[in-house]
Amino acid sequence: MVHRGIALILAMGLNKASAFASIPPQPTSSSCHRCLTSMLRPIVYSTDVYHPSSPGLMNMNNEPHHDGKGRKEYDTAKMAGETIPGEMKRLVVTSPGNGTSVADCIIKVQTVPIPSPKPGEVLIRVVAAPVNPSDYGGWYKSRGPSSSSYPMPMGIEGCGTVVSYGGFLGGITSSLRCPVGTNVGFVITDPAQGSYSEYVTVNAMTGAFPMPEDVPIEDCASFFVNPYTAVGIVDTARRAGSSKAIVHTAAASQLGQMLNRLAMAEGMEIINVVRRAEQREALEGLGAKHVIVTDDGQDDDPTAWKAELRAKVRDLGATCAFDAVSGDMTGHLLDCMPGRGIVYAYGVLAGKANGIDPLDLIYRRKELRGFLLTAWLREGGPMRMIPRMLTASSTVNSGLKVGGWCRSQFTDTTMEGAHAEIVKLLGSSITGKKLRIRFDGK
């Protein structure tokens, strides 16, 4: 009944200005979709679906709809003059190489048929997609070079324009949420697709997110992974009792910069942990008050920075730390937290966590937990998820504007140049920049 209620809410007259327009993917999406389909089925009299590889209209049984319209006329009527080609280009990993780094991966531009939107889905012409650490970690770690994972479509999120939809249900859901012509961000959940493609299909209700109309769509490429993670970290810390301050590692990253700007607006202090002095300068330029450098090259003791961290944790009342590094850093953080403090691991830049003192866990009641964006989104079930997403989507969309807290700094590349640029960026000391693959020729 809960899922049916959500489907009813989504099926009512919501438009793209509605806060519901940014509800992210959720584990109940398939059940909601089935429920909405069952409610609409009795009133379906004509169920036409556009198939990019067919000469005209197809009905729900994949049979030609003989109405005299050819493909060009139908394209013009349905896509406001935009003709959709039969094929597209996308980036895929064809082999992980020796399975040790992004540089060893074999990445190619592949030509494939454009995906056909199913009922309830929209077809999006992609404008841009960002390169996230959560993207490239799996490119060379998926069960060896003979794995069925390859060729592996690449990319999780991106942005573009809705150009078509699938079936009657697609028309209903698209008109409620993201009509043809709407600029949207999108999240890929189908393993057969990737955001580094000229076209993608996603569920109109749970995979497409209408973007602010006064923000260039290419600047919304990184709308999801980093911004929603920042909102999730702040929310998680508050609910764990650390509303005054938190510790954050790898703090000079794009996510780290976003988190600092968001925390300032939310009245929360961030104790930033970085590796180099220039990273401290970059964060202080954003207004960060508390930055600790772990490798300043001036101290013979490689853990001398921990005394400063302990003092900051004590003085600011931090009881939570969020660790994107792992390795030895996880043990150091747990050591510096007060009794009953919590370290949330959400990244593995330095490999497996080390140096954890069992006495911290047993007698001091400290905790080591994981933080995962999708788990935070789904926490508490639909009734708790909806108000959380309403708040998060409003916070993120307002922050995408010029000067906003989650506005990203991009370095642009093309599909053909992406591999070399990714390797170059990973091998450099540049932080706070996000690589963006453009598909609009700009």
Nearest-angstrom CA–CA distance, 254 and 222: 10
Concatenated DSSP letters of 335-369:
HHSPTT-EEEE---TT-S-----HHHHHTS--EEE
Q: Mind listing the pLDDT tens digit for each residue in 3-48?
A: 333 333 333 333 333 333 333 333 333 333 333 233 323 322 222 3
Summarize the confidence of residues 401-419 as an average pLDDT.
94
Nearest-angstrom CA–CA distance, 31 and 26: 10
259 token code pair: 């988190």
Q: Mind listing the pLDDT tens digit for each residue in 421-442?
A: 999 888 776 566 789 999 998 8
Instruction: Please indicate whether residue 72 or residue 322 has the higher confidence score (pLDDT).
Output: 322
Nearest-angstrom CA–CA distance, 22 and 205: 9
- Full-model pTM: 0.79
Domains of the chain, residue spans: 2-222+408-438, 226-375
Residue 315 binned pLDDT confidence (cut-offs 50, 70, 90): very high
State residue 146's pLDDT score: 53
Concatenated DSSP letters of 37-97:
HHHHGGG-S--EEE-TTSSSEEETTS-B--SS--HHHHHHHHTTTPPPPSEEEEEEEEE-T
Nearest-angstrom CA–CA distance, 95 and 129: 22
Fold of 226-375: Rossmann fold (3.40.50)
Residue 78 binned pLDDT confidence (cut-offs 50, 70, 90): very low
Residue 299 binned pLDDT confidence (cut-offs 50, 70, 90): low
306 token code pair: 């921990």
Asked whether the beta carbons of 151 and 112 are under 8 A apart, the reply is no
How many alpha carbons lie under 13 Å from residue 438 in its C-beta half-sphere? 10
| Spatial CA neighbour of 415 closest among 200, 154, 214, 160 | 154
Residue 68 binned pLDDT confidence (cut-offs 50, 70, 90): very low
State residue 142's pLDDT score: 61
Residue 167 binned pLDDT confidence (cut-offs 50, 70, 90): confident
Q: Mind listing the pLDDT tens digit for each residue in 336-374?
A: 999 999 999 999 889 899 999 999 999 999 999 999 999
- pLDDT over 70 for what percent of the chain? 78
- Topology match between the domains 2-222+408-438 and 226-375: no
State residue 51's pLDDT score: 37
- pLDDT over 90 for what percent of the chain? 60
Asked whether the beta carbons of 157 and 132 are under 8 A apart, the reply is yes
Instruction: Count the neighbouring beta carbons within 10 Å of the beta carbon of residue 231.
Output: 26
Domain 2-222+408-438: give its CATH code.
3.90.180.10
Q: Mind listing the pLDDT tens digit for each residue in 175-220?
A: 778 899 999 999 999 999 999 999 999 999 889 999 999 999 999 9
The helix or strand, by DSSP H or E, that contains position 1, with its residue range, turns out to be none
The per-residue pLDDT of the chain, averaged, comes to 81
The torsion angles phi and psi of 150, rounded to 5 degrees, stand at -110, 140
Instruction: Please indicate whether residue 138 or residue 166 has the higher confidence score (pLDDT).
Output: 166
State residue 275's pLDDT score: 94
Instruction: Please indicate whether residue 160 or residue 119 has the higher confidence score (pLDDT).
Output: 160
